[in-house]
Structure 1
Amino acid sequence: MSTSIPRGGRGAGRAARRNHSRPYHASTTRNSPAAAVAVKPTFAAASIPPADDRQRHFSERTFADAPISQASKSGIKHQYLSDVQAATLELGLAGKDLLVQAKTGTGKTMAFLLPTVERLAKQQQHLQKGQISALILSPTRELAIQIEEEAKTLLAHHPFRVQHAIGGTNMKSEMNRFKNDRCDILIATPGRLLDHLENGDLQPRFANLKSLILDEADRLLDQGFLNDLKKIFAKLPSRSEVPRQAMLFSATMSTEVKQVVNKALNSNYEFVTTLTAEEANTHEHVHQSVLTVPISKSLAATLAILREDFETHGEASKVMVFFPTARSTGVAAEVFRKIKGLPPIFEIHSRKSQSVRSKASEEFKDAKSGILFSSDVAARGMDFPGVTLVVQAGIPSSAEQYIHRLGRTARAGASGRGVLILASFENFFLQQKDVAALPIHAHRSIHDLPTEEIDTALDIVDQTTKAQAYQAWLGYYAGFAKKMDVTPVQLVEMANTYAMEILRYKGDQTPPIKAKTVGMMGMKGVPGFNIAKPDNERPR
C-alpha cells in the first residue's frame, strides 16, 4: 500500500554554540552588510539585570532612559529595550530609511512602531484631519492583528488611532469604519489594501503619508505579493513631493528582498542587523533530521514523531506541524483529533475564517502543551513561545520556506528540534544547493509505525474532505513534476494512489474533478482522471 519513486541524498553539518556577545551593526553601504560599522546609542545605560531575569535578545538599556515621550513610555510594559529596538531607535527617530535584519520574536514590532509614533507626535500640529500618516504592510492577517494590538497598547496615552485592512473580512464594513473612525496608522495585508486603493476611496487619504513599513518583507515576497507591492507603491504619493520615512524588516536578505529595497527605500538607507552569525543560520542551533517513509505512512510517521516529543518534554511538549496545502492540513487535524491521548489540537489554514484562525492562534500561543496543524499561513509572523518541535510533513515549497518554518522553534535562546518527513519521490528537495548545505541528519528508524490508528481515524473522515485534499495535492505537486522527474500521467497515477490508498477514499472510482480544474492545472487530455459531469447532466 505504499507509493514511492526512488530519490536520495541528505545534507550534513555541525551544530555550534551561541556566542552571547551581541554587537549591533549599521551601514550606509547598500547591500553590503560586511562593511558595517557599530551604532553608538547615546542614551544612558542602566545596570544589567541578572541573566535569569532577562530573555535573550534584550539589551542593557531601559525605556525609562530612552529619548522618547512620556506618553510612549506610559504605554510600554517592558523595562528593557530588546537588541533590535536599541539598535534602531536613534536611527528611526532621526527619520532614516532602514533595512533591518532581525528574527521574529525579538521585539521588532516595537522597533518600528516606536519611532513611527514618536515622529508623528512631533509632527502632530502639521498632520491633517482624515489623513493616514503611517502605513504598515504585513504578510498575514494574524500578524497584522498582532501588530495592531501592540500599537493600541503603545498609543494608549497618545491621541492617534490605529486600524487594520485585512482579507477574510467584510470590505464594505472596513470602508465604513475608515469613513467614521479616525485612522492615523493603518496596518494592512497587500491584497486587501490594493482592493481599497483600486476599488474604494482610500487613496486620497495617503496624500500626506509620513511613514511606510514593510514587516516580514521576505515573507511578503514568498507569498507572491511582489506585483501587489509594486502597484501599491505606484499609488502612494511620490517621495520627491511628499517626503516619508521607510523601514523594511526581514529575517533573510534574498535577491527578491533587495529588489523591494530598491523600490521602497532611499539609496542612502542604513542596514542594521542584530543577528549573530549562528542566528543568521537557523540550522546552527536547531537539531534537524529527515525521515523518509512511503507516502502511505506519512501520517503514521508524524504521529510517532509527536509521541517522541511527548516522551521527552511531557506536559511541556508544544509542536507545530506543517503540511503542503490547506486541505491536507485540514485532513490531518481531523484525523489526529480522533486519536486518544494527544494534547489539544489546534488548526490554522486559509480555509478557516479569520475569526476561527485568530482564536486558534491565541489559544495555541497561551497553551503550555498542544499541537498546531498549519499550512504556511502561520509559518512566520505570529510568535508562539515554547515550541519544542517543528514537523514538516511533505515537501516545503522552497529552502527558504523550510528555514522559515524551522524558525518557529528555538526562540529566545531555547533549544528546539525539527523533523522533515518525506516520501522517497520528494528526496530531490534534500539535493538542492541551499538545502544540501544544511545539517539535516537521518532520523533514526522507527519500527511499528501506528498505521492502524491512522487508518481507523481516516475511515471516519468525510468523503468530500478527502476529495478536496486529493485535488489540492494534485495542484501542489504538479509544480514539482519536473524536479520529481515524473510525467503528467505518472503524476495523476500518484495522486490517485494518494486518494484511494492513503486517504482511503471510498468508491469504485477516484474522486471526481471538474474538467475546468484539470485544464487550469495544464493537464487537459491526460488520462486517469474521473471527470465530473456538468451540473446540467447530473441526474435530478
Structure 2
Amino acid sequence: MSFSELGLADEIVRAVSEQGYTSPTPIQTQAIPAVLKGGDLLAGAQTGTGKTAGFTLPILQRLTSKPAPAKRSKTVRALILTPTRELAAQVEESVRVYGKYLRLNSAVIFGGVGINPQIALLAKGLDILVATPGRLLDHMQQGTVDLSQVEILVLDEADRMLDMGFIRDIKRVLAALPPKRQNLLFSATFSDDIKALADSLLNAPAMIEVARRNSTVEVIAQKIHPVDRNRKHPLLSHLIKSSNWTQVLVFTRTKHGANKLVEQLGKDGISAMAIHGNKSQSARTKALSEFKDGKLQVLVATDIAARGIDIDQLPHVVNYDLPNVPEDYVHRIGRTGRAGASGEAVSLVCVDEHDMLKGIEKLIKRSLPREVVPGFEPDPNARPQPIQLRSGEAHGRGRASQGQRAGNASQGQRGGNAPQGQQARSPSGGNKPAGPRPAPHRSGGRGR
C-alpha cells in the first residue's frame, strides 16, 4: 500500500516521498484512516514503529482539507502533548517537514528557556502546537494561549506522561479544551492508569495495537551478562573493544552514574558523552550530533533524557543499570532494531538487580539468556545491596508525588538551557524527521 492510497493529499505524499518513504508501517496503515474518519483513537505502539507520522500525517490532512477559521490571536487548532522536550521537538519537526507544501503553521514550546519568544509565536495563532505539559500550563496561567478552539488533541507517549506525574497537569489542560473535539491517545503500554485515562477522555474510540502488549521487538537480540557491581565498567570497556562496537547507547540509572561512566570510559580511550537533565542544551546537542554522525562511540543517557532519541540502525543498546520500572526496559531496547534492522540489547546485571530482572522477564513473558564473559565471572557469594534509585522513586510503578513530579519535570522539560519554540514551514537540514518509518531526528539546536 502507498501513502496516497491512505487518502492523503498529493502535497503530503510528495513531502513524504522526498524523505525516501514509499510504504506506510503497520501503525500508519491502521492509524491514518482511523484519524481521517474524525473519531477518537486509542493506539498501542512502541517507540520505533513510526507512530509519529501515524498521527501527524492525518492531522495535516484534516486541518488542510476544511476551511480554516480566521486565525485569532493565541488560538490553536491542534494540540499535541508530549512528555519531554526531545520528543516535542521531534514531533514538531515532523509536522514541519510533512506539511512543507501546506499553508499551515506550527510551533513547539517547552520549559527551560525564556517564555517571551514563545509568547510572540502564540500571539499569531497556530494551526498546530506541540508542547510539554508544564510549559503549556505556564502559558495558560499567563493567558498567552487560547485553547478554546482546539479541534484535535493528541497525547503522545501517554504512559510516560503518567509515569512522570503529569496526570494533574493533563487534567487541567483538558478542562480548558472545548468538549467537542477529536482525541488521539498513543501509549506503548496499557496500564490500569492508562485505561482509566482513556475511559475518561475518549468517546467510542477505534483501537489499534500493532505489537503484543508490553512485548519487545523480535528483531532485537537480547542477553544478560552476569557481573559483579564493581566490574561493570571494566566489562563494558571489554565488550566495546573486543567486539569493535562503534556506536553504543548506554543507559544508567542516575545522572551521577552517567557522568562517572563517561569519565571512566574516557580513561580507557573510548569516546563517550552523557545526556541528562543537568546537562546544558549545548552539551546535549553536541553529544547527540556527534553520536548520530558517528564521531562519538558511546552515548550515556538516563531514561528521561533518552525519550525522543531516534537514530536509524543503532546497532547496540546496553543497560549498564537495569531500569527501576520494567516497562522502561522495553522503551530502552526499542532504540535499536528499528525499521526492520537487527539490533542487540545487552544488560549488565549484578546481584543487586535480580529482582528487577525478574520483573522485566515477567513483563516480556520470556527468560533472557545469560552469558558469563570469561574473566568477569560474578562472585557466587556476593550479597545484594540496596539500589540507588532516582530521586524520590521506589521500586515499581506508581503515581509520582508532587515533589517527584516537580523533580522529573525539571529533567523532562524545565531544566537546562533549551531553545525556545520555533515556527517554520520547511525543513532546513538533511536528516529525516521521525516519520513513516523510524528515522533520525535532527539535533541541531533543538533538543530537550
What is the TM-score with the length of structure 1 in the denominator?
Answer: 0.65
Q: Match of 2:183?
A: 246
Matched letter for residue 22 of structure 2: Q
Indicate the SS of the match to 2:208. Answer: strand
Q: Distance in 2 between matches of 1:73 and 1:287?
A: 34
Q: Distance in 2 between matches of 1:345 and 1:356?
A: 12
What is the aligned-residue RMSD (CA, Å)? 2.7
Superposed counterparts of 1:320-335, under 5 Å: 320-335=249-264
Indicate the SS of the match to 1:440. Answer: coil
Greater C-alpha radius of gyration:
1
Matched letter for residue 298 of structure 1: K
Structure 1 residues without counterparts, runs of 5 or longer: 1-60, 450-472, 483-519, 521-540
Q: Match of 1:79?
A: 22
Aligned pair in 2 of structure 1 residues 478, 63: CA closer, same or farther (>3 Å)? closer
1:116 to 40, 45, 59: 59
| CA drift at 1:478 | 7.8
Q: Distance in 1 between matches of 2:286 and 2:169?
A: 28
Superposed counterparts of 1:66-465, under 5 Å: 66-76=6-16, 77=18, 78-130=21-73, 131-179=75-123, 181-198=124-141, 200-203=142-145, 205-237=146-178, 239=179, 243-266=180-203, 268-275=204-211, 277=212, 281-282=215-216, 284-310=218-244, 317-340=246-269, 342=270, 344-367=271-294, 370-432=297-359, 434=362, 437-447=365-375
**Cα shift readout 1:362-393 (whole Å, capped 9, x = no counterpart):** 43234387311000124443321222222112
Q: Distance in 2 between matches of 1:273 and 1:440?
A: 24
**Cα shift readout 1:151-202 (whole Å, capped 9, x = no counterpart):** 11122222211111112222233223322x442211011122122222x213
Q: Runs (4+) of structure 1 moved beyond 6 Å?
A: none
Indicate the SS of the match to 1:129. Answer: coil
Q: Which has the higher contact order (CA 8 A, sep 6+)?
A: 2
| CA drift at 1:150 | 1.3
Matched letter for residue 176 of structure 2: K
Q: Distance in 2 between matches of 1:184 and 1:94?
A: 19
Q: Distance in 2 between matches of 1:229 and 1:138?
A: 10
**Cα shift readout 1:282-331 (whole Å, capped 9, x = no counterpart):** 16443333333332222222222323442xxx5xx421100011221122
Matched letter for residue 425 of structure 1: D
Structure 2 residues without counterparts, runs of 5 or longer: 378-386, 397-406, 408-448
| CA drift at 1:434 | 2.5
Q: Distance in 2 between matches of 1:481 and 1:210?
A: 39
% identical aligned pairs: 32
Q: Match of 1:491?
A: none
Counterpart contact for 1:364–1:384, Cα < 8 Å: no
Aligned pair in 2 of structure 1 residues 337, 168: CA closer, same or farther (>3 Å)? farther
Q: Distance in 2 between matches of 1:258 and 1:363?
A: 40
Q: Distance in 1 between matches of 2:293 and 2:238?
A: 25
Q: Match of 1:460?
A: none
Matched letter for residue 227 of structure 2: V
Indicate the SS of the match to 1:335. Answer: helix
| CA drift at 1:236 | 2.3
| CA drift at 1:210 | 0.5
Indicate the SS of the match to 2:24. Answer: strand
Indicate the SS of the match to 1:92. Answer: helix
**Between Structure 1 and Structure 2, how many residues are aligned?**
383
What is the TM-score with the length of structure 2 in the denominator?
Answer: 0.78
